[in-house]
Amino acid sequence: MRLRADSHAQYEIRVYADIMLETVKKWVPITYDAFMDYRVGGTEVSAKGKLIIQKLIKGENVDVNSSGLSKREWNELMIAFDLKDKLI
């Protein structure tokens, strides 16, 4: 559903997904809220990304060169966690 309701999805697919989401919202609102929180509003992180976030939380200095990530992966991770000051 997350992919089908995405703004980049084909229009007809997106309209169908939106109707399905509205049905889910009415039928099982707690499930809908969890879906919106975890799948639509959440972020998936690789194992390397998880280690980097853990190090940042601990206050350790981590940069793209020591991270094991490509520049694209690094920037996606920093954007996902609103760490735009660490973009390269």
Question: In the prediction, which pLDDT does 35 show?
Answer: 94
Give the span between the Cα atoms of 60 and 48, in whole angstroms: 15
Could you tell me the pLDDT band of residue 46, with boundaries at 50, 70 and 90? very high
The question of whether 4 is a catalytic residue gets the answer yes
Give the span between the Cα atoms of 53 and 26, in whole angstroms: 36
Question: In the prediction, which pLDDT does 42 show?
Answer: 87
This prediction has a pTM of 0.67
Give the span between the Cα atoms of 46 and 38, in whole angstroms: 16
Average pLDDT on 49-54 reads 94
Average pLDDT on 34-59 reads 93
Question: In the prediction, which pLDDT does 85 show?
Answer: 82
Catalytic residue among 4, 14, 39, 72, which? 4
Average pLDDT, the chain: 92
Sign of the C-alpha dihedral computed for residues 50, 45, 48 and 59 taken in this order: negative
Give the span between the Cα atoms of 48 and 43, in whole angstroms: 14
